[in-house]
């Protein structure tokens, strides 16, 4: 995918990989596991219809097509919908597909009680009104329909301690790292949809709109970071709405500060001398039969 124009498609196509093919292969393999977990929990029967909210490049949707479902691909990005539409046409499965431009909290183009399952992968983290998104999921599902959602719980990992940045010890250059932290915090403060919720909020919103039963699995890990190439590290954007570290350093630091930070941080990154903290939730729930 090379003709992307908006921030969502640019990030999915290139900016999440830092130009590193090895990183791309590892990410794709990991996302394959996520896809399978989400679809397994959706319990799709052949011929059922799945609504893939925030479809992106079609990770979940094309997996559902492989399981003999019909799929409604929805996304806020027209670039990504066009990409999925062209891919479906080339694969000869477009007759089982529909493409709608819509946000998770306003699925107006999707008729009420018209789908059997709703899926997301890292979508609600961008939605301010998560309760309304759950209400929309409930509306479009037929009685007995299921949601199967995968969402990172970024509150678990953020914020870094004052003497750490990205999981690395930056105490010797704390004043420089603070300038970078201020830039990123300004773009995505604690009130940002990415950071203002945890797994309990997801369950509460799900229950509030009427889903029952509800099942949530939380996976959290704290482990050593793996060694990474510096050029890859500085050219990865953590999500579509923030700059890469190289871009942030250019914006927030002068030449001397960039050199000092690089001299300190690069050996840590390349040796894997840091700590990774992350959590994600797999949420499954049903719309009760009447």
Looking at the structure, do residues 67 and 201 belong to the same domain, yes or no?
yes
Backbone angles phi, psi at 92, to 5 degrees: 75, 25
Digit-coded pLDDT (tens) for 193-204:
999 999 999 999
Q: Which domain holds residue 233?
A: 159-191+226-273
Digit-coded pLDDT (tens) for 211-263:
999 999 999 999 999 999 999 999 999 999 999 999 999 999 999 999 999 99
Between the alpha carbon of residue 51 and those of residues 54, 69, 126, 147, 171, the distances in Å are 9, 10, 18, 9, 47
Looking at the structure, do residues 118 and 185 belong to the same domain, yes or no?
no
- For residue 98, which of 88, 90, 107, 112 has the smallest C-alpha distance? 88
**Residue entry with tokens 């977990």:** 37
More confident residue, 66 or 190: 66
d(CA 168, CA 176): 14
Domain count, the chain: 2
- Enumerate the β-bridge partners of residue 218: 281
Looking up residue 289, the CATH number of its domain turns out to be 3.40.50.150
Query: Mean of the pLDDT values across residues 126-149?
Result: 98
Looking at the structure, do residues 147 and 283 belong to the same domain, yes or no?
yes
Q: What is the predicted pLDDT for the residue at 5?
A: 64
d(CA 146, CA 163): 44
Looking at the structure, do residues 200 and 286 belong to the same domain, yes or no?
yes
Looking at the structure, do residues 244 and 122 belong to the same domain, yes or no?
no
- What percentage of the chain reaches a pLDDT higher than 70? 98
Looking at the structure, do residues 12 and 143 belong to the same domain, yes or no?
yes
Q: What is the predicted pLDDT for the residue at 161?
A: 82
Looking at the structure, do residues 168 and 235 belong to the same domain, yes or no?
yes
d(CA 235, CA 117): 37
Q: Which two tokens stand for residue 98?
A: 């529909």
- Enumerate the β-bridge partners of residue 120: 149
Digit-coded pLDDT (tens) for 35-82:
999 999 999 999 999 999 999 999 999 999 999 999 999 999 999 999
Looking at the structure, do residues 71 and 83 belong to the same domain, yes or no?
yes
Looking at the structure, do residues 257 and 124 belong to the same domain, yes or no?
no
Backbone angles phi, psi at 69, to 5 degrees: -95, 165
DSSP string, 128-168: S-HHHHHHHHHHHEEEEEEEEEEEE-GGGT-SPPTTEETTE
Computed over every residue of the chain, the mean pLDDT equals 95
Q: What is the predicted pLDDT for the residue at 158?
A: 76
Looking at the structure, do residues 265 and 283 belong to the same domain, yes or no?
no
Looking at the structure, do residues 109 and 184 belong to the same domain, yes or no?
no
Looking at the structure, do residues 202 and 71 belong to the same domain, yes or no?
yes
Q: Which residues contact 92 (CB under 8 A, 6 or more apart)?
A: none
């Amino acid at each position: 995918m090379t003709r992307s124009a908006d921030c969502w498609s640019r990030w999915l196509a290139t900016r999440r990989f830092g130009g590193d093919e090895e990183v791309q292969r590892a990410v794709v393999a990991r996302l394959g596991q996520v896809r399978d977990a989400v679809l397994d929990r959706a319990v799709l029967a052949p011929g059922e219809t799945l609504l893939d909210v925030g479809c992106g490049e079609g990770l979940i949707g094309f997996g559902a097509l492989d399981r003999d479902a019909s799929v409604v691909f929805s996304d806020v990005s027209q670039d990504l919908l066009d990409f999925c539409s062209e891919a479906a046409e080339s694969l000869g499965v477009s007759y089982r597909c529909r493409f709608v431009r819509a946000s998770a909290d306003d699925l107006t183009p999707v008729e009420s009680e018209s789908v059997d399952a709703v899926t997301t992968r890292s979508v609600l983290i961008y939605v301010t009104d998560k309760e309304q998104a759950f209400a929309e999921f409930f509306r479009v599902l037929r009685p007995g329909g299921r949601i199967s959602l995968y969402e990172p719980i970024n509150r678990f990992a953020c914020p870094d301690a004052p003497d750490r940045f990205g999981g690395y010890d930056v105490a010797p250059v704390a004043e420089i790292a603070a300038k970078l932290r201020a830039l990123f915090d300004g773009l995505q403060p604690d009130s940002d949809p990415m950071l203002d919720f945890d797994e309990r909020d997801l369950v509460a919103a799900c229950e509030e709109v009427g889903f029952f039963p509800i099942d949530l699995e939380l996976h959290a890990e704290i482990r050593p970071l793996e060694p990474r190439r510096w050029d890859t590290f500085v050219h990865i954007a953590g999500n579509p709405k923030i700059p890469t570290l190289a871009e942030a350093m250019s914006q927030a630091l002068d030449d001397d500060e960039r050199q000092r930070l690089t001299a300190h941080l690069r050996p840590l990154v390349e040796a894997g001398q840091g700590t990774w903290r992350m959590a994600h939730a797999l949420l499954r729930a049903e719309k009760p039969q009447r």
